[in-house]
């Protein structure tokens, strides 16, 4: 990490979190030197990250939180993480959506960011099990008033999870009766061995139904999701057509992805789409 006094708080905290995860822990005095900010600024950043539950403060520094495979953070806790990466991913993923298509958006903060970039795409039919995603389209239509080409939104129903997704038998039955051109899928974890996974068993089953009902599956996941394994796997990497991620994905992970997926899109890099 290079020193930069003008880093935004969000950027500093992303750098701090990456350093904590990469090294297994950092000290405050190390961060002040690397980031070029005051001791007090670093401590405020660590406090904010600790409140989000993504690291644990210890005397003189911070260490990673060791999460159980069943731990499921709430939507608000996740929404403050990797904001820049999620926005870049959302913009890149929106380029894959054709007017007039039927798409599905799963729950998650990255699909929520994507929804904001789709409100002006004409004549979409949007199937979602995310209360937050449905609200994006609802608010857009309420704000701009009735307009030609506004999206038709189908909210599945079901039982609400901490991440504001609707899951369970009601959601599963609704999804099973539908067919959509593209599924944009947010994930808790992605790895070569476990595939796509989540800590919520009911959400895993609902995600399976989403994958089965889609002609094409696009995973939208920032680099911090790579190597994370939740309690339940719901799809193998071979079932995914495209991964849209950010430039933080390590080269070793890109090589692994290339062995399983047809296309990797790295948002923000020249020649974003790479057929593999």
When divided into structural domains, the chain yields a total of 2
Structure confidence by residue, pLDDT tens digits, 198-239: 888 899 999 999 999 999 999 999 988 888 888 899 999 999
Structure confidence by residue, pLDDT tens digits, 49-91: 888 777 888 888 888 766 544 445 554 445 555 578 899 999 9
Residues 191 and 54 in one domain: no
Does residue 272 lie in a domain region? no
- As a whole number of angstroms, the distance between CA 115 and CA 137 comes to 7
pLDDT band at residue 276, thresholds of 50, 70 and 90? very low
Residues 243 and 213 in one domain: yes
Q: Residue 42: which domain range?
A: 9-66
Structure confidence by residue, pLDDT tens digits, 163-207: 789 999 999 999 999 999 999 999 989 999 999 998 888 999 999
Length of the chain: 276
Counting residues of the chain whose pLDDT is more than 70, the rounded percentage is 88
- As a whole number of angstroms, the distance between CA 46 and CA 17 comes to 9
Q: Which of 6-20, 140-154, 214-228, 235-249 has the lowest mean pLDDT?
A: 6-20
Does residue 1 lie in a domain region? no
CB 207 within 8 A of CB 231: no
Q: Supply the pLDDT for residue 121.
A: 95
Q: Across the chain, which distance is largest between two alpha carbons, in Å?
A: 59
Q: What is the mean pLDDT of residues 234-248?
A: 95
Last residue of a domain, one of 40, 66, 92: 66
pLDDT band at residue 270, thresholds of 50, 70 and 90? low
Q: What is the mean pLDDT of residues 110-125?
A: 95
| Burial per residue of 61-94, b for 16 or more beta-carbon CB atoms within 10 angstroms, e otherwise | bbebeeeeeeebbebebbbebbbbbbbbbbbbbb
Residues 45 and 82 in one domain: no
Q: Supply the pLDDT for residue 3.
A: 41
Q: Supply the pLDDT for residue 73.
A: 54
Residues 132 and 250 in one domain: yes
Does residue 167 lie in a domain region? yes
Q: Would you call 176 helix, strand, or coil by DSSP?
A: helix
CA atoms 193, 97, 74, 25: torsion sign: positive
Does residue 276 lie in a domain region? no
What is the C-alpha end-to-end distance of the chain, expressed in Å? 31
Residues 101 and 204 in one domain: yes
- As a whole number of angstroms, the distance between CA 186 and CA 114 comes to 10
Beta-ladder partners of 189: 197
CATH number at 131 reads 3.40.50.1360
Q: Which residue has the tokens 């609902």?
A: 206
CA 202 to chain centre: 19
Q: Supply the pLDDT for residue 102.
A: 98
Q: Supply the pLDDT for residue 5.
A: 45
pLDDT band at residue 2, thresholds of 50, 70 and 90? very low
CB atoms within 10 A of CB 150: 17
């Amino acid at each position: 990490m290079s020193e930069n006094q003008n880093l935004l708080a969000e950027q500093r905290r992303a750098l701090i979190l990456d350093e904590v995860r990469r090294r297994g822990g950092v000290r405050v005095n190390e961060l002040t030197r690397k980031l070029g900010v005051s001791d007090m600024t670093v401590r405020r950043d660590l406090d904010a990250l600790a409140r989000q539950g993504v690291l644990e403060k210890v005397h003189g520094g911070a260490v990673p939180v060791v999460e159980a495979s069943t731990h499921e953070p709430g939507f608000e806790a996740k929404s403050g993480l990797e904001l820049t990466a999620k926005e870049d991913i959302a913009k890149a993923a929106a380029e894959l959506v054709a007017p007039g298509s039927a798409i599905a958006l799963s729950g998650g903060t990255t699909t929520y960011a994507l929804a904001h970039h789709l409100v002006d795409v004409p004549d979409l039919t949007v199937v979602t099990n995310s209360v937050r995603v449905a609200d994006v389209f609802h608010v857009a239509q309420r704000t701009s008033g009735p307009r030609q080409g506004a999206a038709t939104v189908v909210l599945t129903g079901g039982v609400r999870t901490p991440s504001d997704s609707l899951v369970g038998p009601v959601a599963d039955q609704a999804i099973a009766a539908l067919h959509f051109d593209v599924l944009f899928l947010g994930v808790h974890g992605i790895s070569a061995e476990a595939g796509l996974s989540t800590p919520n068993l009911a959400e895993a089953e609902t995600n399976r139904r989403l994958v089965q009902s889609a002609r094409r599956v696009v995973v939208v996941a920032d680099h911090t999701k790579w190597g994370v394994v939740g309690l339940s796997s719901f799809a193998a990497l071979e079932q995914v057509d495209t991964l849209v991620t950010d430039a933080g994905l390590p080269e070793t992970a890109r090589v692994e992805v290339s062995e399983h997926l047809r296309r990797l899109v790295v948002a923000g890099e020249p020649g974003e789409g790479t057929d593999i």
